[in-house]
Chains A and B, each alone.
Chain A
């Protein structure tokens, strides 16, 4: 476009918003019409396997139960069915192989005895038939057929029914259907014209759905606190809506209705309702009975549209009910398993763990025999999915009940001759058991190892490939579990495994490689097997280098895993450079691998570090450093990860680094840092590792590094600013090391960070404050004093408004920085400023994050130390009157900290004075503060305050309020335990006084109270000695009332557990008591002691 023209256009007044603004608006309101990634993920996850978990083989009919024999027959039938289907398939394939011949048989053109007319006719018929079969026509005819069959009254012209669709096609655009006017009523007298249009009927499903929708109630009688009610819920809870009153129902039905109500509340209720109902249902589980409960829960769990939250809460419920019902669940084992076991292959680790715990509890309740009879039919199920799950469940059973009891069954399965699937599942059970226990955790397997390996040995040469592969994998897993023991047991399988290694290709080879690769580290542990170890390591290295170039991911992964554990060394592989390292670099350090899955890149990094350790660190290191300047970002990132790993594991190797490589290294790391497009934390870690390892050697490069950071600190993108301030925080100590007394660099950094405190993005602001913290922390006290631009006096007032920021990262960083300043340089700041900050810190105690509260409490201590405790403690005492419990507890902690830092005598009078206020909260707060105070103090100081606090504790222990007594008991516990060994006999009467006051409380029933009371009695026993203590017990131990006896026995048992030896001299001499009522005062001479 000519410039003049453009100008002319500009003359026309434009009254729209500016293009920049509109662009932004467009972005804001951009409607995402593609599928969101979460949805996509969901649809991917819902693959064949997961879908099966919902429609598994579960038969949840609670009235019909099949006997073991029936189930076995059914399974046999299913297997047969699959076999026949396979045969049919095969036959079809064979047929289709022959069919082409038939089709290609040439048709004779025209027999000599057929007249031309006849020939023509037959040809026509053929073509007619063909045309009928042709696709388009078939569709049309189907359509016609449908319309004719549907018996609709439509006008038909030339045999074409005029439906809406057809009319739309015939008529040009712009026509629309006219509806009859509102008041129009067709005349009933006139016989209806049969040819008029009848709208298609609404489908049956839609009607049902609409009916359901209209039925979905907003509230259900007797059930409150629901958050939602879904359409699917009607299926399970519909009964609740139809039944209006429970008067005329039998007790069974009432039970059912009640449990259903509770279940609905648990599933759909708000948090409080859910918790309450969960508790009620579990408490009453035995009353409702297993049938009622499980027949309601299990079908809901199979609902495909169940939300994560609902599923989770229901699974939790099942777990708790199992615990309550115990052996009552036996008849329902199969049903529970069929619902819960699919969760064992869930992607989320926690969900798997949950399922594992439930199955473990079920096993304990149901017993081994029951579990085996339930699961036995599935061991050779025709479906691989069912077998997989069964093996996992069996592994849990074996783990729960111990291999000792499970082993006979396992042996039988492994030796099964009937069918390879059973054998396969049996081997898989062992594998899953190993995975369940985890690497190096084979103590429970070790006693059975030899037997297991012997049973597995023949399967290594089984006729079915699947069995051979799984056997090799299982042996690898076993070896991994029992590492470093048990090579003697594995010796027998070495030969067949090696043979298998030679005979297999592809996936089979990978599994056999894994098997041998896992056994070699065991040989290394035993001196007698040194030759074996050397031989196999060499051989397997040859095979692995051959397979380095394999395109198969599985193979690459197993090779890398094996290399991590192999006892490679320079002596073993003398030409390691040409035989191992170079081929490894060539086939694994390339862009293709770097863009591979994260798992592989991590393994590559680990193996590279391992090779560096075992062969030549600097050589491997140099080979990698090159890749930090590669054009491919992913490869650069992997290189940085490898450098990070190598340096952090052995930083001392860098001493031998020559200056050239050093320049290359720093340059490369800096380049990779600058060129990153996706911010990743590995760059920070790598940079930090390099900086700490090089330390003062970083000095020549410091200028370029800092200028890069500062440049990036001004970047437009918040991520980059965030990352560069994080980097400052990491390298600040190194900068200090390099500065050699000249702090100008750090001063400059502090100034720039101080100027950036106006940052808008909270995440970035948090990082900037952290960087500021690191810089100030690196400086020593004297240089902090002379810092003038900005001085600490300037920094602190700037932080005060930032403390009000709601973002947690900012809050935490800011509190920490304030605490640091209070520690390092408090004197230069006005006390009023500190008080202002104290008020802000009080607000922080409301934070839901514990780390923030802890940091705030620590800061109170530092501030009180500088400005004296008086003002701070007054402020804290006033804070005890607030309502929220968390705030009061935190204030109490803060008072404890202040008292500890400023010595107790400065604050104790004020705190004790506060106890006179007749407010429960305040008094409890004071007691709590005392409890924290004496927890923090050491014993020597504690005993000086014993007499001072006794009247207060006396009052608290005789209060009506339970919490008073409970908290006073905690105070006494701390006091007593602190003074063990420090308080001499003069103090004993105080403790005896406490014991006298506490002992009546042993009859408390509230769980919190009684546990604190018992703890404090324990503590008093420790400080007073067993002798005095047990005198309090004898009278209660044989009291006629059980309620009195049992707490006394509990106390006695505690004493017996801890001091059984010192109890002996204090037992009363019952044999001296005479049977009649005469009292004897005779005491043997040596029995007398004071």
Chain B
């Protein structure tokens, strides 16, 4: 994610025992290089990122994963990042809200206010 959106910040603390989960939109994507192929090792995130208000959110886009994280699937590093040992650099969780996302939310809010949806 942070490869294509430069204002995203990765946590980069020492990873712990918990596996990083992603939402259906980010499934299959390497958290470091956004590659969709050759998933190799499971992503591990740090303790603080696996708890608190971020605990049931996608590690890349912070989408909600349900109360018991039932909508989440484990994230994987791709083969290339593993060979370059980038999987050992630290917890890859995105900890801030990117401007792209916050801009989108504001825009959606505006649209919602102006046009009511037919079907929800």
**Which residues of A line the B interface, CB within 8 A?**
38, 308-309, 312, 316, 348, 350, 353-354, 357, 437-441, 443, 648, 718-719, 722, 761, 763, 851, 854, 935-936, 938, 973-974, 977-978, 980, 1015, 1018-1019, 1022, 1058
Contact = CB atoms under 8 A, between A and B. Distances in A.
Given A437-B52, A439-B52, A763-B119, A350 B105 contact: yes
B80 A974 contact: yes
B37 to A, nearest CB: 5
A441 B84 contact: no
B14 to A, nearest CB: 12
Interface in B88-116: 96-97, 99, 101-103, 105-107, 109-110, 113
A308 B110 contact: yes
Contacts of B119: 718-719, 722, 761, 763
B85 A935 contact: no
Interface string B60-80: 000000000010000000011
Contacts of B47: 441, 443
A719 to B, nearest CB: 6
B96 A357 contact: yes
A786 to B, nearest CB: 34
A1022 B85 CA distance: 10
A354 B51 contact: no
The A interface, classified by DSSP as helix, strand, loop or mixed, is helix
A308 B109 CA distance: 9
B37 A312 contact: no
A936 B37 contact: yes
The residue in B54, B84, B103 that gathers the most chain A C-beta atoms within 10 A of its C-beta is B84
A308 B85 CA distance: 43
Contacts of B109: 308
B102 A354 contact: yes
Nearest to B47: A443
Contact of B84 (A354, A438, A1022): A1022
Given A309-B106, A1018-B84, A977 B55 contact: no
The residue in B55, B80, B85, B96 that gathers the most chain A C-beta atoms within 10 A of its C-beta is B80
B2 interface: no
A353 B96 CA distance: 8
B54 A851 contact: no
Contacts of A973: 80
A316 B52 contact: no
The 3 A-B residue pairs whose C-beta atoms are closest, nearest first, are A438-B52, A441-B51, A441-B52
B55 A438 contact: yes
Given A718-B119, A851-B25, A974-B80, A935 B35 contact: yes
21 contacts: A309-B106, A309-B107, A312-B102, A312-B103, A353-B97, A357-B96, A439-B55, A440-B51, A440-B52, A440-B55, A443-B48, A718-B119, A722-B119, A761-B119, A854-B36, A935-B35, A935-B37, A1019-B80, A1019-B83, A1058-B84, A1058-B85
Contacts of B105: 348, 350
A312 B97 contact: no
Contacts of B17: none
Interface in B7-59: 25, 35-38, 47-48, 51-55
A438 B51 contact: yes
Contacts of A648: 70
Contacts of A761: 119
A1019 B81 CA distance: 10
Given A437-B48, A851-B25, A1058-B85, 20 more contacts: A38-B113, A308-B106, A308-B109, A312-B103, A350-B97, A350-B105, A357-B97, A437-B52, A438-B54, A439-B52, A439-B55, A440-B51, A441-B47, A441-B48, A648-B70, A935-B37, A977-B79, A978-B79, A1015-B84, A1058-B84
B80 A977 contact: yes
B115 to A, nearest CB: 11
A873 B105 CA distance: 39
A350 B64 CA distance: 13
B52 A354 contact: no
B85 to A, nearest CB: 6
B99 A316 contact: yes
Contacts of A437: 48, 51-52
Nearest to B89: A1057
A258 B84 CA distance: 47
A384 to B, nearest CB: 25
Contact of A763 (B25, B99, B118): B118
Contacts of A977: 79-80, 83-84
A441 B85 CA distance: 29
Contacts of A312: 102-103, 106
Nearest to B118: A763
A441 B109 CA distance: 32
B31 to A, nearest CB: 16
A931 to B, nearest CB: 11
A688 to B, nearest CB: 13
B47 to A, nearest CB: 6
A887 B46 CA distance: 38
Contacts of A348: 105
Nearest to A444: B48
A1024 to B, nearest CB: 13
Nearest to A483: B51
A1015 B3 CA distance: 13
A966 B29 CA distance: 23
